[in-house]
Amino acid sequence: MRYLHEYPGAARPSSVRWVNNQNGRWGSCTPADRTIRLSHRVQDMPDWVLDYVLLHELTHLVVPSHNSAFWDLVSRYPRAERARGFLEGVSAAAGLDMSDD
């Protein structure tokens, strides 16, 4: 992914799959085994939102925590702030607590 280009190979997951059990998250990443799971709720969202969620999880392969280095990398995506706002709006409308910080 071009937003993580200076980390060749580091942002390569061993698997990415859709799951139905992400009740409090849009996605999750386990850096130890390099697996990424995406909530089925994201499937019907605009592509730019899905791209943001995937970039967020891929970035955890480079920076496991939500520290400033993590957010600096995620913010390279031009629609990051817009996608976060979209997800926050969906969460609020559905009465869900699905924060990512």
Other C-beta atoms closer than 10 Å to the C-beta of 64 total: 13
Average pLDDT per consecutive 10 residues, the chain (101 residues; last block may be shorter): 82 95 92 96 96 97 96 96 96 78 51
The answer to whether residues 57 and 38 touch, using CB atoms and an 8 Å cutoff, is: yes
Residue 71 belongs to what domain range?
2-94
Map tokens 């559905």 to a residue: 94
CATH number of the domain to which 73 belongs: 3.30.2010.10
Report the DSSP beta bridge partners of residue 16: 36
pLDDT score at 66: 95
Residue 24 lies in a domain: yes
pLDDT score at 42: 95
Residue 99 lies in a domain: no
pLDDT score at 61: 96
The total number of structural domains in the chain stands at 1
Residue 101 lies in a domain: no
End-to-end Cα separation, the chain, in angstroms: 22
Residue 100 lies in a domain: no
pLDDT score at 5: 85
Map tokens 């942002």 to a residue: 11
